[in-house]
Amino acid sequence: MNGVMCYRSESGNRMVNCFFVSWFARRCAGSAATVLACGCVSLAAVDKNYTVKHNDTLSDLAHKYGLTVGELAERNGLARTDKLRVGQKLVIPDSDAVKSETTASSLLPKGLGRIRIEQGKWKYIVIHHSASPNASVKGMDYYHRVERHMENGLAYHFVIGNGHAMKDGEIAIGHRWTAQLDGGHLASEALNKKAVGICMVGNFDEDRPTKRQMESLHALVEFLLARCHLSADALKTHQQINPIYTRCPGRHFPAKSFLKELKESGDGPSDGAVVLR
């Protein structure tokens, strides 16, 4: 159904928070007005530490530092209605950096940044196509769970829609990512334990991915590279990394131009890291 080989695999659930480098900030390097935001510096570098004092509230602190209550609460893993304790440690993000992050993350699903990532687990990010232009998360989950007998269903960690069963460019987060479970998208249990799987809906042997799909893929890959502390060398196509030959993600997937964009937006991989063979 999907044109890929899927294998059952399980994993533990030790997780840790990592940092996020804004895709938007890294893409805007040509603008003099945003040169400071485009230094490829993690947002943590401009965050401030704050110790809660008597009578402090999230609302008052957010107003003081030019943030919304939601922005301050989210950065600290709190609910908007949480009461603060005297002596509690907070992180106060830079308001300008938050605005840049918000612009970039408009391409990413809400809540993605709050998912804790297992430290040191992920070593690769692998791009697939569904081999069907009408594939859906529900359909692929059913196929993997029922036909392939995969206990955790959907073999991928993320799926990017093409405007058919999903919105064009929509990123769906799979259960394997929220629970930090091994993938099931490669013909190797060892690789599935350390490879994040991204499936782009479409048959790229026949058609090209949409512009919005590629924009979402770029934003997601940049996010994952930063959060998992990986260099762009970690990015692979299914064809390149799979032990058994496959054409996935198809001859029309623009591997070379996508690689070039990644290299231009930051520290890129060595030549040929994402070239279809």
Quick: pLDDT tens for 130-158: 999 999 999 999 999 999 999 999 999 99
Same domain membership, residue 150 and residue 96: no
Same domain membership, residue 259 and residue 181: yes
Tell me the C-alpha distance between 56 and 42, whole Å. 28
Q: Is 43 helix (H, G, I), strand (E, B) or coil?
A: helix
HSE of 57, CA atoms in CB hemisphere, 13 A: 7
Q: Which H helix or E strand runs over 196?
A: strand 195-200
In a domain, 145, yes or no: yes
Q: Which of 112, 131, 163 is the last residue in one of the domains? A: 112
Task: Say whether pTM exceeds 0.85.
Answer: no
In a domain, 202, yes or no: yes
Which residue in 6, 275, 227 sits closest to 131, CA to CA? Answer: 6
Same domain membership, residue 251 and residue 156: yes
**Are 93 and 43 within 8 A, CB to CB?**
yes
Q: What is the DSSP string of 199-251?
A: EESB-TTTSPPPHHHHHHHHHHHHHHHHHTT--GGGEEEHHHH-SS---TT-T
Same domain membership, residue 134 and residue 65: no
Which residue in 100, 93, 102 sits closest to 36, CA to CA? Answer: 100
In a domain, 181, yes or no: yes
Same domain membership, residue 107 and residue 118: no
Same domain membership, residue 224 and residue 175: yes
List the chain pLDDT tens, one digit each, 277 residues: 444 444 444 433 322 223 333 333 344 333 333 322 333 333 344 688 999 999 999 989 988 888 888 889 988 999 888 999 999 999 998 877 776 566 556 889 988 988 999 989 999 999 999 999 999 999 999 999 999 999 999 999 999 999 999 999 999 999 999 999 999 999 999 999 999 999 999 999 999 999 999 999 999 998 999 889 988 889 999 999 999 999 999 999 998 889 777 766 654 433 333 333 3
**Residues, the chain:** 277
Please report, in angstroms and rounded to a whole number, the separation of the first and last CA atoms in the chain.
23
Q: Which of 65, 95, 112 is the last residue in one of the domains? A: 112
Neighbours of 264 (CB within 10 A): 11
In a domain, 271, yes or no: no
Q: How many domains does the chain have?
A: 2
Q: In terms of residue numbers, what domain contains 45? A: 23-112
Mean pLDDT of the chain: 80
CATH code where residue 31 lies: 3.10.350.10
Q: Which of 76, 94, 112 is the last residue in one of the domains? A: 112
In a domain, 201, yes or no: yes
Report the largest interatomic distance among the alpha carbons of the chain, rounded to a whole angstrom: 64
Amino acid in position 245: Y
Same domain membership, residue 189 and residue 148: yes
In a domain, 120, yes or no: yes
HSE of 209, CA atoms in CB hemisphere, 13 A: 30
Same domain membership, residue 249 and residue 123: yes
Q: How far is CA 26 from CA 38, 45, 210, in A?
A: 5, 15, 22
In a domain, 11, yes or no: no
**Are 117 and 180 within 8 A, CB to CB?**
yes
Asked if the bond preceding 254 is cis, omega within 30° of 0, the reply is: no
Same domain membership, residue 143 and residue 41: no
Same domain membership, residue 121 and residue 97: no
In a domain, 92, yes or no: yes
Joined together, the tokens standing for residue 144 give: 């993997």
CATH code where residue 134 lies: 3.40.80.10
Same domain membership, residue 124 and residue 63: no
Tell me the C-alpha distance between 230 and 43, whole Å. 17
Same domain membership, residue 260 and residue 219: yes
